[in-house]
């Protein structure tokens, strides 16, 4: 008797097993702005009586920035939508799908002004694809969300032609009244051009003239990503900006002896394939809440620093890119 009651209770409280499973296979692991997000929805169904009332894809992209000013306790936060589209994978009205695995291809246009996916402490830009299936039974209802990654498509042609010419930046520090007695340090960093593609290697030349009586130590070249966040105060509705710096690649150069001039040649800094491309405000339209820029920075101890801004794009020339797409 007790065994029969236990069996009955276990049947009553047994959790419902889903009879519909969802997955998404993207054609590429990243999509460029202005292109299409292409893929297939994979649907596994084991319920022969399931009737699908709604089968939709919701693509969404949004950005957030926010922080608290530790000196004033003011809260700054901003949200912005970049993508919000809904696509139906079935015809209007209810439809019956036989048990088994089914594939539903999709193509969703990504607006050309969508910014690159980004994750950080003070701001994020995220893109998700939500698959939602509503049926005649709660057991076969399903909703799954899948992240995807967007890169802002950019070319050399999008920037002034002067960025493709050699560029250098000079600086001079006078240590006469500082820790280093009676002397100056002159520094110069130079590159063959300012614009580069993701995955390219930057060949940097650094010239250092140490006219002081002490050695310069910890000489380093760095590829730096500068992120500028913009958000609005919660109550005053006033915008404020915050700057964050991140070292992407660096090369140690050693030290420079006193009263010595030295040139560091063929210092190679590689731009990662998945680094976010340059994105900065050009006073056109609405300002970005997250702006990205790059610099090559030379530093030495004590107190020597020189920067040279560079531009990182996803592609080279637009014509070469279009020809390569036409070829394939």
Q: What three-state secondary structure class fits 89?
A: coil
Q: What does the pLDDT look like over 28-38, one tens digit per residue?
A: 878 999 999 99
**Band (2; pLDDT cuts 50, 70, 90):** very low
**Residue 185 CB partners (closer than 8 Å, separation 6+):** 172, 173, 175, 208, 209, 210, 211, 212, 216, 300, 304
Supply the pLDDT for residue 315: 92
Q: What does the pLDDT look like over 121-143, one tens digit per residue?
A: 999 999 999 999 988 887 778 89
- State the Cα–Cα distance between residues 14 and 27, nearest whole angstrom: 39
Q: What three-state secondary structure class fits 323?
A: helix
316 pLDDT above the threshold of 60:
yes
272 pLDDT above the threshold of 60:
yes
199/159: higher pLDDT: 199
**Band (219; pLDDT cuts 50, 70, 90):** very high
The stretches of 152-275 forming alpha helices (DSSP H) are none
Domain(s) of CATH 2.60.40.640: residues in the chain = 20-151, 156-323
Q: What does the pLDDT look like over 56-111, one tens digit per residue?
A: 999 999 999 999 988 888 999 999 999 999 999 887 666 777 888 889 999 999 99
12 pLDDT above the threshold of 50:
no
- The mean pLDDT of the chain is 87
167 in Cβ contact with 193 (< 8 Å): yes
Supply the pLDDT for residue 324: 67
Q: Which CATH class is domain 156-323?
A: mainly beta
CATH number of 20-151: 2.60.40.640
110 in Cβ contact with 83 (< 8 Å): yes
Q: pTM here?
A: 0.84
């Amino acid at each position: 008797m007790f065994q029969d009651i236990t069996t009955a209770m276990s049947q009553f409280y047994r959790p419902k097993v889903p009879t519909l499973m969802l997955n998404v296979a993207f054609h590429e692991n990243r999509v460029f702005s202005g292109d299409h997000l292409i893929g297939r929805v994979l649907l596994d169904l084991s319920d022969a009586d399931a009737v699908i009332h709604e089968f939709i894809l919701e693509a969404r992209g949004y950005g957030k920035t926010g922080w608290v000013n530790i000196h004033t306790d003011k809260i700054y936060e901003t949200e912005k939508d970049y993508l919000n589209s809904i696509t139906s994978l079935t015809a209007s009205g209810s439809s019956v799908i036989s048990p088994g695995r089914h594939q539903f291809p999709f193509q969703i246009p990504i607006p050309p002004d969508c910014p690159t996916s980004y994750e950080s402490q003070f701001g994020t830009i995220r893109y998700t694809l939500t698959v939602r299936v509503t049926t005649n039974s709660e057991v076969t209802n399903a909703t799954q969300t899948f992240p995807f990654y967007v890169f802002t498509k950019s070319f050399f042609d999008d920037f002034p032609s002067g960025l493709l010419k050699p560029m250098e930046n000079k600086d001079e520090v006078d240590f006469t009244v500082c820790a280093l007695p009676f002397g100056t340090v002159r520094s110069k960093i130079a590159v063959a051009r300012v614009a580069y593609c993701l995955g390219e290697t930057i060949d940097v030349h650094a010239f250092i003239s140490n006219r002081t009586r002490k050695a310069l130590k910890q000489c380093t070249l760095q590829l730096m990503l500068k992120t500028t966040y913009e958000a609005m105060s919660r109550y005053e509705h006033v915008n404020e900006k915050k700057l964050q710096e991140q070292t992407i690649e660096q090369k140690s150069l050693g030290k420079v002896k006193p009263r010595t001039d030295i040139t560091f040649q063929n210092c190679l800094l590689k731009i990662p394939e998945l680094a976010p491309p340059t994105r900065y405000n050009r006073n056109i339209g609405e300002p970005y809440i997250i702006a990205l820029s790059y610099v090559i920075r030379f530093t030495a101890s004590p107190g020597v620093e020189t920067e040279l801004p560079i531009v990182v794009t996803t592609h080279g020339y637009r014509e070469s890119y279009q020809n390569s797409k036409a070829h394939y």
